Chains A and B, each alone.
Chain A
Amino acid sequence: MDRKDHADIASGRLSAQQLAQNFDDVAPPLDRQNALIAAQRCYYCYDAPCIQACPTGIDIPSFIRRITTDNLRGAAQDILGANVLGGMCARVCPTEILCEGSCVRNTGESEPVQIGALQRYATDWVFDSNTALFERAAATGKRVAVVGAGPAGLSCAHALARAGHDVVIFDAKPRPGGLNEYGIAEYKVLDFAAREIDWLLSLGGIRWEGARTLGDDLHLSELRRDYDAVFLGLGLTGVNALGIEGEALAGVRNAVDFIADLRQCPDLSKLPVGRRVVVIGGGNTAIDAAVQSKKLGAESVTLVYRRGSASMSATWAEQEFAKTQGVSVIEWAQPRRILGDGAVAGIEFEYTQLDDSGRLLGSGDYFTLAADSVLKAIGQTLIAPRANGDGSAVIEIRNGRIAVNAEFETSVRGVWAGGDCVGGKVDLTVQSVEDGKRAARAMHARLSGNGTAEN
C-alpha cells in the first residue's frame, strides 16, 4: 500500500444540524400519556420476576403502580432507594436481558412492559424538579475515602453519606462519573451523567476531589491512616492490546479513548473520525464506538468479532441497533496485521472457526479491510492498586480482579472494593451500583461497631 502519513481522519464530515440530529436522545422520554399507557400494561405481578432480574432489586411493580396513581415521588423513592443511579440505569441498562427480559408479558405476547422507559419517566421527574428524596442521618464523625467516582463509588458514597458518615470521593479524572461520564455512548446519556451527579452530591456529606490518582498522588496507606474506611471502585482502566504488527500506526486507537473524547467534546463538528472505520471487538464499547463513528459521518464502519454473535457481550438488542445504524458486522474473523506505512491503511483478518474441542482456530483464509481508523475494543483490565507505604497492605488480586469477600471487603482489613474492579456477575453499571450499596452496608456496620466480619 502507498505510504501516507495521515490516514483520512477528519472532523466536520456532517453538518452541525445533522450531527445534532444524530446524537439526539436515542430513546426519547415518555410523556405522561404514554407513560400511563405503558404503566397500565404492568400486571403488578406478585414476587415479580423483573425484581429478581434486577441486580439492585428495584421493586418494579410497585414503582409502576405509583406512576399510574401520579405518585411520581413515591415511584422515584422506590427506584432511587434501591439504586441511587436509577436514572442512569434507566438509560443504559440492557433491560432486554434484565427486567424487561423477565417480564411475564414476554410469554404469549412478546412485548414486555417498557420498564426502562418508565423508570426514566419517574426518575426524570426528580432531576427535572431537583427534588431531594433523601436526608442524612445524624453525623457519626466517621470519615470514609472512596476511590473512583464511577457507579460503584458513587453508590457507596451516597449510602454512607446518608448513614451520617463524611465521605471524600477521589478520582483520577477531572470530572466524576466514571464510565457514565466518559465511557457510554453520547446518544444514550446526553448531559444526564453530570445532572445525576449534581443531584446525588446535593445530599451533602460528600466531598469531590478530582484529578487524584491512586498510586500517584494518592496512596492507600495514607488513606487507611487518615480515614476510618476505604472503598475502591477503580473500574478497569487498562486496555487490552491486540499484540499484532502495526498496532502503533497512526489511526489505531483504543475505543474507550475515542468514546471519552467524544463524550467530553463540546462541539462534535470539531471531532475527527475516520472515513473507513474498523472496530475490533464484540462488547458494548465496540458497539458504542462503531455506532458513534457512523453518527459522526464515517463513510463505512465495520465491526469485526472473532467469534459468533451469540458470544458477543453486547446484547442482541445492541447488535440489532448497530445494524440499523449502518454498521456492518463481520463475525468469525480475527485481526492478524495492521497494514500501513506511518498511518493505518488497512487491516488483515483471518477467518476463524472452532475445532472439535471448542477451541478458536484460524482457518487459513485471509481478507483485508481498507481502513483509515482502527478502534480496539477487546476488553479492559484492572490496573492493580500498588502497595506502598508500610508495605503491609498488599491487596490480593484473583483472576485479574481485586479479591473480595461476601461483604466486599478486600484482603486488607478496612478496605472494601466493588464494581468492575472486583468483577462480579456482570460488568454492568447496575451491578456496580449494587456492589457499592452492599459494600456501604458492610462498611456502615463496621463503622457503627456492630460489624459482622471481624477477623
Chain B
Amino acid sequence: MADLRNNFVGVRSPNPFWLASAPPTDKAYNVIRAFEAGWGGVVWKTLGLDPHVVNVSSRYGAVQWNGQRIAGLNNIELITDRPLKVNLDEIRQVKRDWPDRAMIVSLMVPCDEQSWKTILPMVEDTGCDAVELNFGCPHGMSERGMGSAVGQVPEYVEQVARWVKQHSRLPCIVKLTPNITDIRHSARAAYRGGADAVSLINTINSIVSVDLDLMAPTPTVDGKGTHGGYCGPAVKPIAMNMVAEIARDPETPNLPISAIGGIGTWRDAAEFMALGAGNVQVCTAAMHYGFRIVDDMIAGLANWMDQKGYRTLEDFRGLAVPNVTDWKYLNLNYDIKARIDQDKCIKCGLCHIACEDTAHQAILKEKDGKRHFEVVDSECVGCNLCMHVCPVDNCITMQRVDNGSYANWTTHPNNPARVKETA
C-alpha cells in the first residue's frame, strides 16, 4: 500500500495535499472542516499587521467554457480582514487540536525589517510549522507596496527572505508571483536569501470578463472593476512550466517546491510532483466542490502509486524533470503520423477541417464518393492537432514511423550557430 506521508522542509503531514492560503483557510471553522475531510495541511490565509484590511463585496469572476463552470477563477479579495489576534488565537488552538496536520501561516507585511521582526515572534508563538511569505497577490495589496510588488523585484525577495530567516527559527517558504518574465530569477533570489522552499504559482493578473451591459470588468463593484488574481484549471499549464523551470535550474539545486495552480485531482498532483514538487496546494477546486474532493485525491494517488509500484512520494517525485529539456535538444529525426481507427471514427469531420484549414491538408474527407477520413502520410507532419480535436478517445493515435536515429538543432545544417561536428 502506497505511503502518502509527506515531509516538506521538515513539516510533516499525512498526505501531500495542503490547502493554499486563500478564503478556504481564513478561519478555524473552515480549517477544522478541511482537516475533518482529510486535508494534510493548510496554509492559513495571509495575515497582516493591524489595523486589518477591509474587503469589497463582489470578489470573484469566473471563466465558463462550453458549459464547464469555473474553468478559471479570479478574485479581488485581499488578505485576512480579521484582527491579527483573532487569527493567531485560532491558529494556536487548531494546531493544538490537530497536531498531525501541517499548519503553515501566510504572511504579508510592509517591506521593512521592523514589520517582519514584529509579526514573526507572534506567529511563531502559535506553534505553527512554517511561514509562507506572500509575495504574490497581484491585486490591491500590490498598490500598497506588498504582495507581487515585492515578488516582482528579486532583490526585495532576497532581502525579506533573509530577514525572516534571521528573525525566526521557522522554515520559510517564499510564495512566488507568476507575473514576471522569468520565474527563475525570483526563485534564485529566494534561494540566495536563505528561503527553505518556494511555493508557486500565486495568481495571474487578469480581467476575466467584461459585462457588456455594464461595460465594466467583472467582478463589478458598483459599476467598476479592477484586475484580479487568476487561478483554477486554466492556469495549471502555466504553473507546471514554472515549477519545471525551477526544478531544472542548476542555480537553485534541490530547492523544495510546493506546487500551486489548477490542481484539483490526484493526477494533477502527480504531474506536479513528477516535475519536482514536494507537495501541492489546492484552492479553486475546493472552492468549487467543497473539501470532500481530497478524498479522491488521496485514494486516487495511492491507487496509482500502487499500480506503478511507487511506495513513497519520493519514489516518483521529479522523475519527469530530466525529460524536460530545451527545444534544441529535441530529436529532429523523430517522425509520427496520425492514424484514424475507422471502427471508432464517427465521421464528424473535425480532424479534416482542422487539418485542411489550419494545418497541413493531410486528411482526406472522402473515399469512393463516401464520407471517410484518412490521413495522407506524405503531408502529415505529426503535429497531433487532429488527435486533439477528435471527440472520440483513442480514435486518432500517432504512430512512430522513423528509424530511431537522433539528430538535433545544435548540429542541424540550417542552424547558423550549429556546433561543427568533428570530422
* Bound-complex Cα distance A445 to B372 (A): 37
* Bound-complex Cα distance A48 to B347 (A): 9
For A26, list chain B residues within 8 Å (CB): none
Kindly report which residue of chain B lies nearest to residue A40, judged by CB atoms. Answer: B67
Q: Is the CB of B66 within 8 A of A68?
A: yes
Q: Is the CB of B347 within 8 A of A36?
A: no
Q: Is the CB of B66 within 8 A of A104?
A: no
Report B221-241 residues with CB < 8 Å from chain A CB: none
Interface status of A355 (Cβ within 8 A of chain B): no
Interface status of B162 (Cβ within 8 A of chain A): no
Report A33-60 residues with CB < 8 Å from chain B CB: 36-37, 40, 43-49
Partner of B350, one of A40, A44, A105, A107: A44
Interface status of A108 (Cβ within 8 A of chain B): yes
Kindly report which residue of chain A lies nearest to residue B357, judged by CB atoms. Answer: A46
CB distance from A60 to the nearest CB of B (A): 13
For A104, list chain B residues within 8 Å (CB): 346-348
Q: Is the CB of A108 within 8 A of B346?
A: yes
* Bound-complex Cα distance A49 to B392 (A): 17
CB distance from A70 to the nearest CB of B (A): 11
* Bound-complex Cα distance A45 to B350 (A): 6
Report B346-362 residues with CB < 8 Å from chain A CB: 346-350, 352-353
CB distance from B69 to the nearest CB of A (A): 12
Q: Is the CB of B67 within 8 A of A49?
A: no
Q: Is the CB of A36 within 8 A of B365?
A: no
Partner of A49, one of B344, B347, B353, B365: B347
Partner of A48, one of B66, B349, B391: B349
* Bound-complex Cα distance A44 to B351 (A): 12
Supposing A43-B391, A46-B352, A46-B353 touch, asked if A107 and B67 sit within 8 A by C-beta, the answer is no
* Bound-complex Cα distance A105 to B391 (A): 10
Interface status of B371 (Cβ within 8 A of chain A): yes
CB distance from A222 to the nearest CB of B (A): 49
* Bound-complex Cα distance A48 to B348 (A): 7
* Bound-complex Cα distance A147 to B225 (A): 61
Partner of A43, one of B67, B350, B371: B350
* Bound-complex Cα distance A229 to B282 (A): 73
CB distance from B367 to the nearest CB of A (A): 14
Q: Is the CB of A46 within 8 A of B348?
A: yes
* Bound-complex Cα distance A68 to B66 (A): 8
How many A residues face the partner with a CB closer than 8 A? Answer: 15
CB distance from A303 to the nearest CB of B (A): 36
Partner of A107, one of B347, B349, B353: B347
Supposing A43-B391, A47-B365, A49-B371 touch, asked if A36 and B67 sit within 8 A by C-beta, the answer is yes
* Bound-complex Cα distance A54 to B349 (A): 18
Supposing A40-B67, A43-B391, A46-B352 touch, asked if A107 and B346 sit within 8 A by C-beta, the answer is yes
Partner of B349, one of A45, A68, A108: A45
CB distance from B153 to the nearest CB of A (A): 42
Kindly report which residue of chain A lies nearest to residue B366, judged by CB atoms. Answer: A47
CB distance from A16 to the nearest CB of B (A): 41
Q: Is the CB of B348 within 8 A of A45?
A: yes
Kindly report which residue of chain A lies nearest to residue B65, judged by CB atoms. Answer: A40
Kindly report which residue of chain B lies nearest to residue A104, judged by CB atoms. Answer: B346
For A49, list chain B residues within 8 Å (CB): 347, 371
For A48, list chain B residues within 8 Å (CB): 348-349
CB distance from A114 to the nearest CB of B (A): 14
CB distance from A38 to the nearest CB of B (A): 10
Partner of B67, one of A37, A44, A45, A47: A37
* Bound-complex Cα distance A37 to B69 (A): 12
* Bound-complex Cα distance A307 to B413 (A): 76
Kindly report which residue of chain B lies nearest to residue A108, judged by CB atoms. Answer: B346
* Bound-complex Cα distance A68 to B352 (A): 23
Q: Is the CB of A47 within 8 A of B349?
A: yes
CB distance from A352 to the nearest CB of B (A): 38
Q: Is the CB of A108 within 8 A of B66?
A: no
Kindly report which residue of chain B lies nearest to residue A33, judged by CB atoms. Answer: B67
Report A136-156 residues with CB < 8 Å from chain B CB: none
CB distance from A69 to the nearest CB of B (A): 11
Q: Is the CB of A46 within 8 A of B346?
A: no
Q: Mark B367-392, 1 if CB is under 8 A from A, else 0.
A: 00001000000000000000000011
* Bound-complex Cα distance A46 to B356 (A): 11
* Bound-complex Cα distance A171 to B93 (A): 86
For B66, list chain A residues within 8 Å (CB): 40, 68
CB distance from A113 to the nearest CB of B (A): 11
Kindly report which residue of chain B lies nearest to residue A44, judged by CB atoms. Answer: B350
CB distance from B395 to the nearest CB of A (A): 9
Q: Is the CB of A46 within 8 A of B350?
A: yes
Report B330-355 residues with CB < 8 Å from chain A CB: 344, 346-350, 352-353
* Bound-complex Cα distance A46 to B347 (A): 9
Kindly report which residue of chain A lies nearest to residue B389, judged by CB atoms. Answer: A43
Q: Mark A95-133, 1 if CB is under 8 A from B, else 0.
A: 000000000110110000000000000000000000000
* Bound-complex Cα distance A43 to B354 (A): 13
CB distance from A59 to the nearest CB of B (A): 14
Max chain B Cβ within 10 angstroms of own Cβ: one of A37, A44, A46: A46
For A43, list chain B residues within 8 Å (CB): 348, 350, 391
CB distance from A163 to the nearest CB of B (A): 33
Kindly report which residue of chain B lies nearest to residue A105, judged by CB atoms. Answer: B346
Q: Is the CB of A108 within 8 A of B344?
A: yes
CB distance from A416 to the nearest CB of B (A): 32
* Bound-complex Cα distance A120 to B266 (A): 42
Max chain B Cβ within 10 angstroms of own Cβ: one of A36, A37, A107: A107
* Bound-complex Cα distance A68 to B347 (A): 22
CB distance from B65 to the nearest CB of A (A): 10
* Bound-complex Cα distance A303 to B87 (A): 76
CB distance from B267 to the nearest CB of A (A): 24
* Bound-complex Cα distance A108 to B392 (A): 9
For B352, list chain A residues within 8 Å (CB): 46
Extra 5 A-B pairs, beta carbons < 8 Å, given A40-B67, A48-B349: A45-B349, A46-B348, A46-B352, A47-B349, A48-B348
Query: Residues on B close to A: CB < 8 A?
Result: 66-67, 344, 346-350, 352-353, 365, 371, 391-392
Residue contacts A-B, CB under 8 angstroms, 18 given: A36-B67, A37-B67, A40-B66, A40-B67, A43-B348, A43-B350, A45-B348, A46-B348, A46-B349, A46-B353, A47-B349, A48-B348, A68-B66, A104-B346, A104-B347, A105-B346, A108-B344, A108-B392
The 9 A-B pairs with the shortest beta carbon distances in the complex, nearest first, are A46-B349, A46-B353, A104-B346, A107-B346, A40-B67, A45-B348, A43-B348, A104-B348, A43-B391
